[in-house]
Structure 1
Amino acid sequence: MSSPARSRPAIEVDVVMRREPVSGPMSRWQAWRWVLADVMVRTDPEDTGPAPEHEAHEPHAVEPVETAGSDAQATHWLFPRFRVELFRDDAEGYFLNLNSPNPCFWVFWRADEERLLDGEPMAVPQIVTLSYHDAGRWLDAQERVDQVAAPEVVVDWLRGFVDATYQPEPKKRKRPDSFKPLTDRFGQPVRISTDKRRGGAPGH
């Protein structure tokens, strides 16, 4: 009997999206906009169990933490239990995230035409990642991607994974200039003779 496959390192997080009024000239065409408000760590890596067969992310409204300048009309919606897994073959993507000025979570979200709020589509998170490569692919595909700083406990966990798995590509050795073929100004090979001339000028 074969042994069960080893589960990938993972944590669970909750995603909070904020719906806020649009101000200025843009409000003539768009009354509201959605932005990523927060990614909250739900479990420690050691306490994260195997992936469930089906993940439900039913949102519910939450009361925001009041901050200076916050808009009283804004509403916050929490989408629970997103699983963030680490893959060995994407170690470089995590390495690039760690070495950015602000290591972060990226959240790929879409406007759901079937889930409406006041008659308008709700912003629904699809995937949460710590991979720089994942975020780049989504942005290249013109998807909506927002980011929020990762807490120190997540950065430390990610660094431990990268230290154990990331193998930088070896740099190719540069060929010394002395090995480069000589060419003339027309790009034709130049032959250098090492024979020494004897005697005087030609014909003597």
Structure 2
Amino acid sequence: MTDDPVDPGTAPLRRIETLPLGIVVERRASTSPWADWSWRVAAVIPGAGPVEPPGRLLRSGEGWTHTHAATLELELFRTDTEGYRLNLSQEPPRLWVVLRPDAAGDAMIPVVVTASAHEGEGYQVGMDVVETVPMPPDITALVRDFVDQHHVDVPFEKRERKRHFDKDDRRGDGRRGGPQGGGTG
């Protein structure tokens, strides 16, 4: 378990658990006339060490490669336990990996990994490519233990709407005019 070194006073609310994950990216010859390659996240490697760009080739075959493209920190936050719970309720639980093109546009580089269903969904808006991969059992156990230790149910509180009265609003229901409902008074 790792406390956030930035501000010890806010550490309990911020990142408190991290795990390095190697991201394995598959590059496959594309059948599309607009792209030479298709990219997807093939797997994660829990506890992987750092890797230098362009990554380390793990396996290859005719028209495809699997490369350990990056090692990213999976960060668990107390404030995201609801997103982790939602993910753990799915079969199977998944990790979301955000891929971006490299500077030359020749490869897709992993830049973020998350176990939060809410955060993963948030990345799906925009130009990033978001891939999911099944969460390995040992990471599922880690996330489940984290949620068990830190989740706090927050009761739903319906907010009461404030009424805004116009000077000509004599009914209090938002309509203008007098008691008979016509005109401006």
Q: How does the TM-score come out when normalised to structure 1?
A: 0.64
User: In angstroms, what is the RMSD of aligned CA positions?
Assistant: 2.6
Q: 1:64: how far off?
A: 2.2
More displaced 10-residue stretch of structure 1: 131-140 or 75-84 = 75-84
Identity of aligned residues (%): 27
Q: 1:104: how far off?
A: 1.3
| Counterparts in 2 of 1:62 and 1:139: CA distance versus 1, 3 Å | same
Using the alignment, how far apart are the partners of 2:39 and 2:125 within structure 1? 20
After superposition, what is the alpha-carbon deviation per residue over 1:96-141, rounded to whole angstroms, capped at 9, x for unaligned?
Answer: 1111121111100101133xxxxx5210000111111111110123
User: After the TM superposition, which residues 14-163 of structure 1 pair with which residues of structure 2 at under 5 Å, given as runs?
Assistant: 14-23=22-31, 26=32, 28-42=33-47, 57-64=52-59, 72-114=62-104, 120-163=105-148
- Residue 11 of structure 1 pairs with residue 16 of structure 2: no
Using the alignment, how far apart are the partners of 1:89 and 1:36 within structure 2? 27
The size of the alignment, in residue pairs, is 148
Q: 1:88: how far off?
A: 0.5
After superposition, what is the alpha-carbon deviation per residue over 1:63-118, rounded to whole angstroms, capped at 9, x for unaligned?
Answer: 328xxxxx52112221243111110111111111111121111100101133xxxx
Which SS does the other structure have where 2:20 is aligned?
strand
Contact 1:17 1:36 in 2 (8 A): yes
Query: Which amino acid counterpart does residue 128 of structure 1 have in structure 2?
Result: V
Contact 1:57 1:82 in 2 (8 A): no
Using the alignment, how far apart are the partners of 1:129 and 1:172 within structure 2? 29
| Counterparts in 2 of 1:31 and 1:142: CA distance versus 1, 3 Å | closer
Using the alignment, how far apart are the partners of 2:41 and 2:23 within structure 1? 8
| Counterparts in 2 of 1:161 and 1:142: CA distance versus 1, 3 Å | same
Structure 1: gaps of 5 or more residues = 44-54, 66-70, 115-119, 174-204
More displaced 10-residue stretch of structure 1: 162-171 or 98-107 = 162-171
Moved over 4 A (4+): none
Q: How does the TM-score come out when normalised to structure 2?
A: 0.70
| Counterparts in 2 of 1:22 and 1:56: CA distance versus 1, 3 Å | closer
Using the alignment, how far apart are the partners of 1:36 and 1:10 within structure 2? 20
Q: Please identify the structure whose Cα radius of gyration is greater.
A: 1
